[in-house]
């Protein structure tokens, strides 16, 4: 494969310190793209503005059919460091465009960038400095995750990249298997060539296999705490536009992930790294399987059955020690999948990551307490479904494990919502009679409450109804754009217990324009299930008038004293 001979090239001489035609670059950064003409310029510009300018930039186009070819030619005309590469047909993945770029890359050090992401300005400088300080196989740094829906920025696996350190092989810290991104690293070309290390073609999740091999083959690598990659994450994108890793609703996605895990297992066994197997299995259970587990409540019976057929046989090959390192709630879901009980797995998966109780528990003849309505039949199931250590009946009231499910949600008059709530108390921590409770939601710093009484239906189960008037919410003067998740507070002898509200899984979103006090524009309010783990009820407010559009930017800029004045003015208008 050769560069696109038809691509226009800049004829101006390269700037000092840059790598133009005839100058050997220090680093080659490959930007892979497929049908992403809109975001590609941002990615390429992030490479062009690197503080280390001695670069070669290969744009590797996986045979795009949109305006990407035209955009790449425009980009190449602006910078002599840019080389264009276009695959003759679409490969359907990331591996082929990266591998074809490797064939023509001229630099001794290599990096990879996806067209929907960016490199922070000092990424190349920081990683190259690590290579020049020591003879490394690769250097890696922190990854900054940016949510496209909220703009929130976090560090990916921050505990693994918190300090500058050099390791003599993955055995020094097997936890790094969790950081499986190929894009957060700068590789020595000699290291990749020495081991014929290339991206596996024809499969998805190629980063996991490539990174596992790189970790195991590397003799020395350095970690720097500075951010070297900016990863844009669209967690709720339409499945047709979502990245491969976010297409978890497709069974092919499940099969590909399991297939890659088996390839990694085979590599570890064949290359003297069996000691890493438990750590690798724990990573799979805690990261890969955990993502699917959070989605199980939203899958139909046919999908769950097919998922179980793919996943259960592989789970049975994993190290027992990997399961034992997991939180009990996750072990319960895994056991139910392994025992081919998909409907029970769906129930157990609701509320994962939050202190949510099972609906029912059963005491066995041995005095142990088990998940579900029967004592498990096998020793393995009893081990995984044993909840005795959770001390359901002895925990203090504020820390009791309860489960609050909304069984019905109906619109009432005006902006009133009628919510039917069922509370499960498997540890019997609530009194026998009715319980006083409050449904609480806090939009824009205000409080919106609804009082209800939960009456006993049978031992350990209570039901009640709340009327929540959305028009009674005290929103700030500049309006409120955002979402909140209502919680349920129980009151007993001066003590309070607070828990999340699990939404019904099958009700359509309810949307209404709700009027508020004078001086504040109406808001479009939408009530819906969260649609993903942990399946909470979600209420979203969106200003529907011009006043918030003017005041909101001002409110973000003013100092705390002026914000207090705004709040006082808002109260006066109430």
Report DSSP letters for 100-140, one per residue.
HHHHH--SSEEEEEETT-B--TTHHHHHHHHHHHS--SEEE
Answer for the pair 512, 415: CB distance below 8 angstroms, yes or no.
yes
Distance between CA atoms of residues 327 and 287, nearest Å: 13
Q: According to the model, what pLDDT value does residue 1 have?
A: 36
DSSP string, 452-519: EEEEEEETTEEEEEEEEEGGG----TT---EEE--EEEEEETTEEEEEEEEPPSSPPPEEEEE--STT
Distance between CA atoms of residues 94 and 90, nearest Å: 10
Answer for the pair 126, 45: CB distance below 8 angstroms, yes or no.
no
* Pick from 40-44, 205-209, 312-316, 402-406: least confident: 205-209
- Averaged over 151-170, what is the pLDDT? 96
Q: According to the model, what pLDDT value does residue 546 have?
A: 59
Task: Examine the pLDDT at 267 and tell me if it is beyond 60.
Answer: yes
**Average confidence score pLDDT of the chain:** 89
Burial of 392: CB neighbours in 10 Å, binned 0-12, 13-18, 19+: buried
* Pick from 122-131, 318-327, 378-387, 467-476: least confident: 467-476
Answer for the pair 36, 117: CB distance below 8 angstroms, yes or no.
no
* Pick from 191-205, 233-247, 259-273: least confident: 233-247
Query: Above pLDDT 70, what percent of the chain?
Result: 89
Strand 109-114 relative to strand 153-156: parallel, antiparallel, unpaired?
Answer: unpaired
| 482 phi-psi bin (left φ>0, alpha ψ -120 to 50, beta other) | left
Model confidence at 21, pLDDT cuts 50, 70, 90, reads low
Answer for the pair 230, 117: CB distance below 8 angstroms, yes or no.
yes
Q: What residues pair up with 230 in beta bridges, in sequence order?
A: 118, 144
Distance between CA atoms of residues 540 and 43, nearest Å: 32
Distance between CA atoms of residues 531 and 528, nearest Å: 8
Model confidence at 494, pLDDT cuts 50, 70, 90, reads confident
Model confidence at 550, pLDDT cuts 50, 70, 90, reads very low
Model confidence at 170, pLDDT cuts 50, 70, 90, reads very high
Structure-block tokens of residue 49: 């503005």
- Greater confidence (325 vs 151) lies with 325
Q: According to the model, what pLDDT value does residue 205 have?
A: 87
- Averaged over 321-327, what is the pLDDT? 97
Q: According to the model, what pLDDT value does residue 19 have?
A: 55
Cα–chain center distance at 329 = 19
Q: According to the model, what pLDDT value does residue 553 have?
A: 45
Query: Above pLDDT 90, what percent of the chain?
Result: 79
Task: Examine the pLDDT at 219 and tell me if it is beyond 90.
Answer: yes
- Averaged over 362-388, what is the pLDDT? 96
* Pick from 40-54, 306-320, 470-484: least confident: 470-484
Distance between CA atoms of residues 120 and 28, nearest Å: 16
- Averaged over 465-488, what is the pLDDT? 92
Burial of 205: CB neighbours in 10 Å, binned 0-12, 13-18, 19+: buried
Task: Examine the pLDDT at 254 and tell me if it is beyond 50.
Answer: yes
Q: Please report, for residues 287, 327, 373, the alpha-carbon distance to residue 345 in angstroms, rounded to integers and kept in the order given.
A: 18, 15, 14
Structure-block tokens of residue 483: 């979402």
DSSP string, 382-440: HHHHB-GGG-TTTS-GGG--BEEEEEEEEE-STTEEEEEEEEE-TT--S-SS-EEEEEE
Distance between CA atoms of residues 411 and 260, nearest Å: 47
Catalogue all structural domains in the chain, each as residue range(s) with its CATH number. Answer: 27-233 (3.90.550.10), 248-390 (no CATH), 398-573 (2.60.40)
- Greater confidence (261 vs 431) lies with 261
- Greater confidence (68 vs 476) lies with 68
Q: Please report, for residues 398, 423, 425, the alpha-carbon distance to residue 489 in angstroms, rounded to integers and kept in the order given.
A: 10, 11, 14
Q: What is the pLDDT of residues 423-463, one digit of tens each?
A: 999 999 998 889 999 999 999 888 999 999 999 999 999 99
Model confidence at 559, pLDDT cuts 50, 70, 90, reads very low
- Greater confidence (82 vs 18) lies with 82
Distance between CA atoms of residues 82 and 73, nearest Å: 9
Q: Is the dihedral of CA 478, 481, 485, 486 positive or negative?
A: positive
- Averaged over 48-64, what is the pLDDT? 97
- Can you give 225-293 as a three-state secondary structure string? EEEEEEEEECCCCCCCCCCHHHCCCCHHHHHHHHHHHHHHHHHHHHCCCHHHHHHHHHHHHHHHHHHHH
- Averaged over 256-262, what is the pLDDT? 95
Q: What is the pLDDT of residues 332-341, one digit of tens each?
A: 999 999 999 9
Model confidence at 237, pLDDT cuts 50, 70, 90, reads low
Q: According to the model, what pLDDT value does residue 210 have?
A: 97
Task: Examine the pLDDT at 562 and tell me if it is beyond 70.
Answer: no
Task: Examine the pLDDT at 371 and tell me if it is beyond 70.
Answer: yes
């Amino acid at each position: 494969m050769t560069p696109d001979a038809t691509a226009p090239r800049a004829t101006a001489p390269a700037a000092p310190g840059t790598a133009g035609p005839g100058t050997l670059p220090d680093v080659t950064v490959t930007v892979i793209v497929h049908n992403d003409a809109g975001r590609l310029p941002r990615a390429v510009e992030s490479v062009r503005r690197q503080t280390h300018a001695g670069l070669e930039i290969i744009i590797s186009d996986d045979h795009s059919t949109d305006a990407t070819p035209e955009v790449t030619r425009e980009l190449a005309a602006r910078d002599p460091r840019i080389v264009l590469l276009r695959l003759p047909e679409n490969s359907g993945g990331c591996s082929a465009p990266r591998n074809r770029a490797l064939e023509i890359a001229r630099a001794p050090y290599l990096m990879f960038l996806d067209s929907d992401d960016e490199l922070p300005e000092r990424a190349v400088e920081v990683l190259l400095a690590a290579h020049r300080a020591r003879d490394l196989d690769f250097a890696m740094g922190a990854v900054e995750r940016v949510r496209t829906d909220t703009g929130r920025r976090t560090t990916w696996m921050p505990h693994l990249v918190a300090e500058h350190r050099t390791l003599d092989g993955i055995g020094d810290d097997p936890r790094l298997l969790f950081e499986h991104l190929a894009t957060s690293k700068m590789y020595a070309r000699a290291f990749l060539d020495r081991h014929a290390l290339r991206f596996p073609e024809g499969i998805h999740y190629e980063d996991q296999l490539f990174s596992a091999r790189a970790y195991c083959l590397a003799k020395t690598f350095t970690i720097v705490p500075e951010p070297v990659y900016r990863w844009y994450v669209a967690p709720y994108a339409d499945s047709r536009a979502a990245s491969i890793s976010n297409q978890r609703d497709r069974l092919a996605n499940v099969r590909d992930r399991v297939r890659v895990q088996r390839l990694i297992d085979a590599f570890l066994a064949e290359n003297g790294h069996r000691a890493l197997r438990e750590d690798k299995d724990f990573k799979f259970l805690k990261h890969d399987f955990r993502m699917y587990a959070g989605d199980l409540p939203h899958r139909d019976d046919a999908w769950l059955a097919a998922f179980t057929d793919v996943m259960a046989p592989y789970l049975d090959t994993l190290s027992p020690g990997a399961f034992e390192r997991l939180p009990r709630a996750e072990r319960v879901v895994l056991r139910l999948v392994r025992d081919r009980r998909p409907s029970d797995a769906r129930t157990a998966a609701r509320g994962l990551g939050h202190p949510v109780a099972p609906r029912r528990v059963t005491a066995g003849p041995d005095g142990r307490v088990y998940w579900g309505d029967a004592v498990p039949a096998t020793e393995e199931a009893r081990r995984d479904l044993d909840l005795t250590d959770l001390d359901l009946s002895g925990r203090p009231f504020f820390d009791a494990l309860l489960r609050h499910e909304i069984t019905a949600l109906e619109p009432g008059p005006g902006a009133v919502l009628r919510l039917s709530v069922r509370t499960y108390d498997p540890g019997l921590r609530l009194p026998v009679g009715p319980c006083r409770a409050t449904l609480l939601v806090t939009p824009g710093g205000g409080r919106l409450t609804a009082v209800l009484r939960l009456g006993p239906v049978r031992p350990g189960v209570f039901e009640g109804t709340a009327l929540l008037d959305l028009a009674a919410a005290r929103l700030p003067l500049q309006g409120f754009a955002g979402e909140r998740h209502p919680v349920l507070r129980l009151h007993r002898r001066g003590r309070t217990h607070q828990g999340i509200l699990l939404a019904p899984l099958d009700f359509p979103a309810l949307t209404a324009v709700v009027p508020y006090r004078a001086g504040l524009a109406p808001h479009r309010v939408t009530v819906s299930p969260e649609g993903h783990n942990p399946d909470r009820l979600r209420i979203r407010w969106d200003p529907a008038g011009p006043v918030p559009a003017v005041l909101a930017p001002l409110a973000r800029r003013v100092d705390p004293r002026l914000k207090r004045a705004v709040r006082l003015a808002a109260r006066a208008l109430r």
